[in-house]
Chain A
Amino acid sequence: MKSRAELLLGDEAVAQGALDAGVSGFYAYPGTPSTEIMEYVQHSREAADGNVHRTWSANEKTALESALGMSYAGKRAMACMKHVGLNVAADPFVNSAITGANGGLMVTVADDPSMHSSQNEQDSRFLGKFALMPMLEPSNQQEAYDMCRHGFALSEEMKLPVMLRVTTRLAHSRAGVVRQAPIPSGDVRLPEDMRQFVLLPAISRRRYRRLLELQPRLVQASKDSPFNRYIDGPDRSLGIIACGLGVNYVRENFPNDRIPHPLIKIGQYPVPVKMLERMADACDRILVVEEGMPFLEELLRGLLDRGVNVAGRMDGTLPPDGELTPNLVRVALGMADRSGAEVPAIVRNRPPALCRGCSHADTYKALNQAVKEVYGDGHVFSDIGCYTLGALPPFQAINSCVDMGASITMAKGAADAGLLPAVAVIGDSTFCHSGMTGLLDAVVENTSMLVMILDNSATAMTGGQDSHAFRRLEKICLGLGVDPEHLHLINPIPRNHDALVGLIRRELDYPGVSVIIPTRECVQTLKKRSRRKPAGTPAGAKGGVQ
């Protein structure tokens, strides 16, 4: 059996699991730690042969809506995103539980506890519960694979979307996965009720009641699920509830898998209440081990916290933030911590930095000279991408990074408040994700602000995926109503430094919306392309560098 196992990242296991479950389309926007799901599908021979949809979407909202449309048409679809992407897609996410699904619909959300590559560590299970949606949370790569098949079946049985929640550690860890025989994908099949997806109030009320009435069945499904298990143990002074991959850290600390305490392993929500009741009756104290926020722990305690004796993140048994580790769980289990030697004092931090030859670096040099050195610090609103590294030395050029697209809209609000100049710095892919609508707001009011769209022709931070902006930025800006007199493209090579500084200064003097697009391809995608192409071949379709 082991020889049949393939080494897959958790993300890849999700992709392969969905492919083998007969999915007809993946819809996603790149975001760490979820990116590798779509990348795997894009490299999959089977996906190409089966004509599975696998082109990136503009953002997570358009991705989830497209997946919902595919479900409407009777086929299985999966939308994939990082946790903060679910905020962007929250509207279709919550409402898709009310419309329900036709073809199986899964929403895979990759949370990033410890914020390895994110601006927060929100726990998507809260949003899943908010939407009253069934959820799956794998403990390992094999379960990530298996849960896709299970999830699509559950989705079609309940006629509801199903959320699959993974976290960084599982998404980006590789282990052996054994595949099952693939299921063929379905055909177009309209919903039985042609008003199912029409959320007019009268219909919505009916649909919402149905969603509420389904909840006991979802709890029953969790109770019967192969992913939720009560494993009894003789020492009932403590019971352990472990969600998702938390169970691995519990097992790690008991040699030979001899756990003396009763253990509940949770992999499917809503939580099976009867299982929890049994543990509460049997054990003196319950330790809750969950990756993320104290979701289950909070439910167990309740507002008054006068019932069950619970330990977890809320009482300091485990830290309130950050991802779990085997050592943290070891201490929570009452065992002595272990550590090697201390880090010698000579070891310095080595933060990430812009690559050598990165066009953003050249742009920041010019921007600092035109803005910071003239007007002082505090005028530059930025966004999510490689260029966020412009906040660190040596540039320290930007003053905000909040969410996708917020550079333009925050600059607008600040300009409205009278902060002049107000400059927005946003990447080409982020602009297409959520920047266009904000620019339209600014155009409508002709707000006095400068928008710099840093065009490196890629979604670079996540590994150089194709950007929707490619060769479209100028047309998009003109289409949104930017004055052609105040729209400029320039290659920010050092030779053009003075020209770029001059251009920025000139446009800062203009009391309306200006857009400057410094354009030069990402050095990483350029390297990748030149490695793929034999020497002498022209740069290819993506070489749009002026």
Chain B
Amino acid sequence: MKSDIILAGVGGQGILSIATVLGYAAIESGLTMKQAEVHGMSQRGGAVQSHMRIADGDIHSDLVPRGGADLVVSVEPMEALRYLPWLAPGGWVVTNSTPFRNIPDYPGEEELKRALEALKHRVVIDADTIAAEADNPRGMNMAVAGAASLFIDIPFEKMEAGVRAIFGRKGDAVVEKNLAVLREGRKRAEAARGE
């Protein structure tokens, strides 16, 4: 088993929480992982990414090779496109459809939509709405994590255990809300993949 993932988004959107849940699930499944993060200056509202590598054997490089990622997982649609050079042939893009507009020259809705539709293997979900409907607006990242889980060979129960472990100290209500969003994200991804 090998899963090389680029996690993408804007500083502050919560990609490191996705990484933590995935990492927990991987370790609990007896797998090896490496995960490179961005700290420091770019965290301030800039484009951020994290390289996540999961395998059942040794992992050497902390970075996913360009052209070698099985998955680009993004909490922001334009950021998903930024990492296409990393995607291997046949790899999938899983992304939130809601833009994060904090720059003056953010692309128009139509051209962004066209660029996403040009991708052969894609799952685009409205994670912000999923989270809002579950009364958990800050849980958008967990919806994306749920969608991504469909493409990672780790038992889904381990992902759920990851959510429990990470949000546990915030109480059962927070755990349940995030689990709901995680499951809904996965369900929407199942539907979207079939299209």
**Residues of A near any B CB (own CB < 8 A):** 2-3, 5, 7, 9, 32-33, 35-36, 116-117, 169-170, 172-176, 245, 248-249, 251-252, 257, 325-327, 330, 337-344, 346-355, 386, 389, 461-463
Smallest CB–CB gap between B74 and chain A, Å? 12
Q: Could you tell me the distance between the alpha carbons of A389 and B44 in the complex, rounded to whole angstroms?
A: 10
Q: Could you tell me the distance between the alpha carbons of A277 and B79 in the complex, rounded to whole angstroms?
A: 48
Interface residue from B38, B47, B61, B67 paired with A252 (Cβ < 8 Å) = B61
Q: Which residues of A contact B146 (CB under 8 A)?
A: none
Contacting pair A352 B11 (CB below 8 A): yes
Q: Could you tell me the distance between the alpha carbons of A442 and B110 in the complex, rounded to whole angstroms?
A: 57
In the complex, B88 has a CB within 8 A of chain A: yes
Interface residue from B67, B84, B118 paired with A343 (Cβ < 8 Å) = B84
Given the contacts A172-B39, A350-B103, A2 and B44 also touching, CB distance less than 8 Å: no
Among A2, A36, A337, A346, which residue has the most Cβ atoms of chain B within 10 A? A346
Contacting pair B60 A251 (CB below 8 A): yes
In the complex, B126 has a CB within 8 A of chain A: no
Residue of A nearest to B112 (CB): A346
Smallest CB–CB gap between B15 and chain A, Å? 13
Q: Which residues of B contact A350 (CB under 8 A)?
A: 10, 45-47, 78-79, 102-103
Contacting pair B111 A346 (CB below 8 A): yes
Q: Which residues of B contact A342 (CB under 8 A)?
A: 84-85
- Ranked nearest first, the 5 interchain pairs of A and B with the lowest CB-CB distance are A117-B40, A338-B67, A32-B40, A352-B46, A340-B87
Contacting pair B60 A252 (CB below 8 A): yes
Q: How large is the interface on B (under 10, 10 to 19, 20 to 34, 35 or more residues)?
A: 35 or more
Q: Which residues of B contact A355 (CB under 8 A)?
A: 44-45
27 interchain pairs, CB-CB under 8 A? A33-B40, A116-B38, A116-B41, A116-B42, A117-B41, A169-B62, A174-B23, A174-B35, A176-B27, A248-B60, A252-B61, A252-B65, A257-B58, A325-B66, A327-B67, A330-B65, A338-B68, A340-B69, A343-B85, A347-B81, A348-B103, A348-B105, A349-B103, A350-B78, A350-B102, A353-B44, A353-B46
Given the contacts A340-B91, A342-B84, A173 and B62 also touching, CB distance less than 8 Å: yes
Q: Could you tell me the distance between the alpha carbons of A351 and B11 in the complex, rounded to whole angstroms?
A: 10
Contacting pair A353 B63 (CB below 8 A): no
In the complex, B158 has a CB within 8 A of chain A: no
Q: Which residues of A contact B39 (CB under 8 A)?
A: 32-33, 35-36, 117, 172, 463
**Residues of B near any A CB (own CB < 8 A):** 10-11, 23, 27, 30, 32-47, 51, 58-69, 78-79, 81-82, 84-89, 91, 102-103, 105-107, 111-112, 115, 118
Contacting pair B44 A346 (CB below 8 A): no
Q: Could you tell me the distance between the alpha carbons of A9 and B37 in the complex, rounded to whole angstroms?
A: 9
Contacting pair A338 B66 (CB below 8 A): yes
Interface residue from B41, B63, B103 paired with A461 (Cβ < 8 Å) = B41
Given the contacts A117-B40, A462-B40, A351 and B63 also touching, CB distance less than 8 Å: no
Q: Could you tell me the distance between the alpha carbons of A376 and B67 in the complex, rounded to whole angstroms?
A: 48
Contacting pair B115 A346 (CB below 8 A): yes
Smallest CB–CB gap between A173 and chain B, Å? 4
Smallest CB–CB gap between B24 and chain A, Å? 8
Contacting pair B82 A347 (CB below 8 A): yes
Given the contacts A342-B85, A355-B45, A386-B44, A173 and B65 also touching, CB distance less than 8 Å: no
Contacting pair A249 B36 (CB below 8 A): no
Residue of A nearest to B43 (CB): A352
Q: Could you tell me the distance between the alpha carbons of A340 and B119 in the complex, rounded to whole angstroms?
A: 12
Among A248, A257, A340, which residue has the most Cβ atoms of chain B within 10 A? A340
Q: Could you tell me the distance between the alpha carbons of A78 and B88 in the complex, rounded to whole angstroms?
A: 43
Smallest CB–CB gap between B115 and chain A, Å? 5
Smallest CB–CB gap between B119 and chain A, Å? 8
Contacting pair B46 A351 (CB below 8 A): yes
Contacting pair A348 B67 (CB below 8 A): no
Contacting pair A326 B61 (CB below 8 A): yes
Q: Which residues of B contact A348 (CB under 8 A)?
A: 78, 103, 105-107
Q: Which residues of A contact B106 (CB under 8 A)?
A: 348
Q: Which residues of A contact B32 (CB under 8 A)?
A: 2, 176
